[in-house]
Amino acid sequence: MNIPKKVCDRLNAGMKQMRPIIEDQRSRDVSEADTVKLVMDLLEVVFGFDKYADVTSEHAIRGTYCDLAVKIGEKLKLLIEVKAIGISLEDRHVKQAVDYAANQGIEWVALTNGITWRLYFVIFAKPIDKQLIAELDLTQADCKDEA
């Protein structure tokens, strides 16, 4: 699938700006709270969301909170669970993210530590399941690469 040139240009320019910040945060092994701030900036600078209008933090779901939620238009479309930048993403983190999405009735969930991003589609069956749609290392991503 080809990524449109306009999107590719924005991704490349955004990563040029954000890569030094990502590397600095990784070298300092910042906390989850600081990684959430980084992810909000990435959503704006790299992915083109308005972090004030399209993104909300600490989205309440049945007495607990998902780190970030993204609206497209007025509709909630994506939940994002963030882990500290130095944490490896594990199966238990995926389960946590998918549980949030299932409880909210949202089909899309992302799990990230700011560097590694995993996008899942939630399958509303019994039992609830998920399908990994994409995984990328943002520091290595090249929108001109087919993979």
Q: How confident is the model over 30-49, as pLDDT tens digits?
A: 999 999 999 999 999 999 99
Cβ atoms of 85 and 25 closer than 8 Å: yes
Which residue's entry shows tokens 């939940």?
Answer: 79
Please tell me the CATH code under which domain 5-137 is placed: 3.90.1570.30
Cβ atoms of 109 and 120 closer than 8 Å: yes
Q: How confident is the model over 75-129, as pLDDT tens digits?
A: 999 999 999 999 999 999 999 999 988 888 999 999 999 999 999 999 999 999 9
Q: Taking the domains of the chain in order of start, what are their residue ranges?
A: 5-137
State the Rg of the chain over Cα. 15
Peptide bond into 20 cis (omega under 30): no
pTM of the complete model: 0.90
DSSP letters for 31-80: -HHHHHHHHHHHHHHTT---TTTTEEEEEEETTEEEEEEEEETTEEEEEE
Report how far apart the first and last C-alpha atoms of the chain are (Å, whole number): 9
